[in-house]
């Protein structure tokens, strides 16, 4: 019957015919010679033939006395040291129990690909993938160029609108019939609706580029890990902005516990740095916080792999990311080395630009080529010189257009070059996930009705906090703008103050309604909990009532007042309950999947 053999060169299992036993065949995959073992027991069977034992002389009672015990053991037959099964001449592993005769242990069979191949194949495979998917890199460069163009346009639009509002406000007088100072005019101009809208546009356009990278990286890593052909990547403008927001929040959420622990130290740093560095003290603090945020780089490739899973919460947990980095430090550092080599031209460009930024800005401001080009264009179309010197709205429009075109000419080549490097790194990241997936603790499924732990609830709380903060911020800005308009138009400060009071009251009522209605509603959880796949139930797994939800809200406040100890209890209690869970007899459970055993 056919025999299974493994090629030592390519590690593939081959099926050899029975006639090939004891001979060497050639592997059809790598052309290496593979030795096929003899038939099990061949040669040994002949040695096991019973020899004729001559009749011993003497009485039957004393027949054992004439036996030579040194010749009882059959030294010509190989047997397993564990189970005693007969072995062939070339059998290293026992065919019965699988014990290695050299080590006396059962060899551990590896599940999945060999991780050692990652280091030898990551360069060639990523380059081959980039060569076959050049159109993907071109599309990435095009998308980035569009978002950069829109970003520059938003910046210029905001600056033009701000200048216009500033000039308009500077010409007015206050209630005392005195001219408005430049500082007051600047603050009022920044709070004007057109300028606020400009800041909003700048923020949206800044999120598009990172959003496209995260979206495409997820597609490439998923296709690499599943060994499937990459599907066509779809582009949705607002979808990329939403993913970009997630990308920007990831390092903040990941390192939030570190920032929380260091809050007191940062406060002390603020006092000491201001006294030591003066006005640049806050800048020093920002630099320190930025340095801390760079720690997220070491978790980035692991987090990108987790982002392709149905459950991505481990990518946001500092404890899990630290543990996984320590367990996979070698491949992660190797990937970071690849990124440094691939992005080295951009690193050098950034360092040089940072070192000579002041000189470059001073040279541009002194020569001012855009002003000269704008004046030349206006003179070319027949505009009068005295009108040009006034630098009115038309002048600002021409100047802004030329600035955007100049920025696009500089940035577009960099965008397309960076796009090829980015696709190369995406494939390398996918190979890291493929070869080390058994060591990354990927969460593909979750059993239902299991109590949820502390860190997942922490993530849900962070998401809810961000949502409520964003809602309160938008409400505050809207009321501030409205009260400012009412004050300017009607000259009634009391009405503006009442509107601000209502906004403060709304910031208290909105969280109360948000938590109580969400947890007692059909969804049984807030948006943060639903995003994590968890819900609030009573001890029997049923939906809680509105009264219980109100009790949970005030219990949550009490858990926070006592230095957060009520929340930390979830990490130590048997059913992972917080203090307000125990007070209201509720639990937070996983929704889970329809778990089936294959």
What's the pLDDT band for 368 if we cut at 50, 70, 90? low
Give yes or no: residues 425 and 364 share one domain.
yes
- φ/ψ of 76, rounded to 5, equals -90, -10
Predicted confidence band at 564 (pLDDT cuts at 50, 70, 90)? confident
Q: Are residues 396 and 488 in the same domain?
A: no
Domain that holds residue 532: 455-590
CA angle 361, 366, 370 (to 5 degrees): 80
Is residue 542 in some structural domain? yes
List Cα–Cα distances, 346 to 247, 352, 359, 423, in angstroms.
21, 10, 20, 15
Cα separation, 596 vs 598, whole angstroms: 6
**Of 428-432, 501-505, 594-598, where does the model show the most confidence?**
428-432
**Whether the predicted pLDDT of 290 surpasses 90:** no
Q: What is the mean pLDDT of residues 469-495?
A: 70
> Cα 547 to chain center, whole Å?
38
Residue 316: inside a domain: yes
Residue 307 lies in a domain: yes
Is residue 378 included in any domain, yes or no? Answer: yes
Distance CA 377, CA 388 (A): 10
pLDDT band per the 50, 70, 90 thresholds, residue 207: very high
Q: Which of these three, 444, 473, 497, is where a domain ends?
A: 444
Residue 574 lies in a domain: yes
**230 and 287 part of one domain:** yes
pLDDT band at 383 (very low <50, low <70, confident <90, very high): low
Task: Tell me if residue 169 falls in helix, strand or coil.
Answer: helix
Is residue 315 in some structural domain?
A: yes
Mark whether 484 and 542 lie in a shared domain.
yes
> Which letter, b or e, does each residue of 472-493 get, where b requires 16 or more Cβ atoms within 10 Å of its Cβ?
beebebebbebbbebbeeeeee
Between CA 537 and CA 540, with CA 539 as vertex, the angle to 5 degrees is: 85
Query: Is the pLDDT assigned to residue 347 strictly greater than 90?
Result: no
Mean pLDDT of 290-300: 80
Q: Are residues 135 and 241 in the same domain?
A: yes
Same domain, 405 and 493: no
Tell me what pLDDT residue 41 has: 46
User: Percentage of the chain with pLDDT > 70?
Assistant: 72
179 assigned to some structural domain: yes
Other Cβ atoms within 10 Å of 259 Cβ, number: 13
410 and 466 co-located in one domain: no
Which of these ranges, 65-79, 289-303, 420-434, 483-497, has the smallest mean pLDDT? 65-79
Does the pLDDT of residue 333 top 90, yes or no? Answer: yes
Q: How far apart (Å, rounded) are the C-alpha atoms in residues 232 and 229?
A: 10
Number of domains in the chain: 2
Largest CA distance in the chain: 143
Report the pLDDT value the prediction gives residue 268, as an integer from 0 to 100.
61
Average pLDDT value for residue range 204-216: 92
* Residue whose tokens read 């005392």: 176
- In Å, how far from its chain's centre is CA 223? 17
Closest by CA to 412, choosing from 44, 12, 145, 65, is 145
Give me the chain's average pLDDT, please: 78
Q: pLDDT tens digits, residue range 108-159?
A: 555 678 888 999 899 999 999 999 999 999 999 999 988 988 888 888 888 8
332 and 396 co-located in one domain: yes
Domain end point (choices 405, 421, 444): 444
pLDDT of 73 strictly over 60: no
CA-to-CA dists, residue 347 to 267, 353, 354, angstroms: 33, 10, 10
Q: Dump pLDDT digits (tens) for 393-436.
A: 666 677 677 777 777 777 788 888 899 999 999 999 999 999 99
99-117 residue pLDDT tens: 777 777 776 555 678 888 9
- 108 within domain boundaries: no
What DSSP letter does each residue of 10-45 carry, written as one string? T--EEEE-GGGTTSEEE-TTT--EEEPPPPTTTTHH
pLDDT of residue 118: 92
Co-location of 381 and 270 in the same domain: yes
312 lies in the same domain as 269: yes
Q: Answer yes or no: do 404 and 483 share one domain.
A: no
In terms of domains, do 160 and 299 share one?
yes
Average pLDDT for 581-588? 91
Task: Give mean pLDDT, residues 335-363.
Answer: 79
- How many residues would you count in the chain? 598
DSSP 105-157: SPPPPPPSS-TTHHHHHHHHHHHHHHHHTHHHHHHHHHHHHHHHHHHHHHHHH
Q: Among 398, 424, 444, give the residue marking a domain's end.
A: 444
């Amino acid at each position: 019957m056919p025999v299974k053999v493994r090629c030592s060169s390519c590690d593939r299992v081959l099926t050899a015919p029975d006639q090939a036993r004891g001979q060497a065949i050639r592997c059809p995959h790598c052309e290496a010679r593979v030795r096929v073992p003899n038939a099990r027991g061949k040669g040994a069977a002949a040695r096991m033939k019973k020899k004729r034992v001559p009749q011993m002389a003497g009485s039957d009672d004393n027949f054992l006395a004439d036996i030579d015990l040194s010749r009882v053991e059959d030294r010509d037959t190989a047997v397993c040291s564990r189970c005693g099964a007969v072995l062939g001449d070339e059998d290293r592993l026992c065919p019965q129990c699988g014990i290695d005769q050299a080590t006396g242990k059962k060899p551990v069979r590896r599940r999945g690909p060999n991780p050692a191949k990652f280091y030898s194949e990551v360069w060639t495979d990523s380059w081959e993938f980039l060569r076959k998917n050049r159109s993907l890199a071109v599309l990435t460069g095009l998308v980035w160029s569009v978002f950069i163009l829109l970003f520059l346009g938003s910046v210029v639009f905001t600056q033009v609108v701000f200048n216009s509002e500033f000039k308009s406000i500077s010409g007015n007088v206050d209630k005392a019939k005195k001219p408005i100072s430049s500082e007051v005019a600047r603050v009022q101009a920044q709070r004007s609706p057109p300028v606020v809208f400009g800041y909003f546009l700048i923020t949206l356009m800044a999120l598009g580029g990172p959003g496209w990278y995260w979206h495409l990286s997820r597609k490439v890593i998923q296709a690499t890990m599943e060994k499937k052909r990459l599907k066509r990547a779809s582009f949705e403008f607002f979808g990329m902005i939403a993913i970009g927001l997630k990308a920007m929040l990831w390092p903040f959420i990941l390192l939030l516990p570190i920032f929380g622990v260091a809050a007191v130290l940062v406060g002390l740093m603020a006092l000491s740095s201001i006294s030591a560095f003066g006005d640049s003290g806050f800048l020093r603090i920002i630099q320190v916080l930025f340095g801390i945020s760079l720690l997220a780089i070491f978790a980035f490739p692991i987090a990108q792999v987790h982002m392709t899973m149905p459950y991505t919460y481990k990518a946001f947990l500092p404890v899990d990311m630290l543990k996984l980095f320590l367990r996979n430090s070698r491949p992660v550092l190797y990937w970071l080395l690849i990124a440094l080599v691939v992005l080295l031209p951009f690193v050098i460009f950034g360092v040089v630009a940072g070192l000579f930024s002041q000189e470059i800005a001073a040279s541009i401001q002194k020569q001012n080529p855009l002003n000269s080009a704008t004046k030349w264009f206006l003179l070319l179309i027949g505009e009068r010189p005295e009108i040009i010197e006034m630098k009115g709205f038309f002048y600002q429009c021409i100047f802004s257009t030329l600035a955007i075109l100049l920025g696009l000419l500089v940035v577009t080549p960099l965008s397309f070059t960076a796009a090829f490097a980015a696709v190369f790194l995406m494939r390398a990241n996918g190979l890291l996930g493929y070869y080390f997936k058994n060591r990354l603790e990927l969460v593909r499924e979750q059993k239902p009705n299991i109590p949820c732990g502390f860190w997942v609830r922490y993530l849900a709380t962070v998401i809810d906090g961000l949502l409520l903060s964003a809602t309160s911020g938008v409400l505050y800005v809207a009321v501030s703008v409205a009260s400012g308009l009412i004050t300017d138009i009607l000259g009634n400060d009391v009405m503006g103050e009442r509107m601000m009071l209502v906004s403060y009251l709304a910031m208290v009522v909105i969280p109360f309604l948000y938590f109580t209605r969400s947890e007692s509603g059909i969804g049984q959880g807030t948006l943060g909990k639903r995003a994590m796949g968890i819900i609030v139930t009573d001890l029997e797994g049923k939906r809680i009532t509105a009264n219980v939800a109100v009790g949970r809200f005030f219990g949550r406040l009490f858990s926070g007042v006592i230095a957060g100890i009520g929340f930390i209890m979830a990490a130590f209690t048997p059913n992972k309950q917080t203090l307000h869970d125990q007070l209201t007899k509720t639990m937070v459970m996983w929704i889970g999947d329809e778990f089936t055993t294959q």
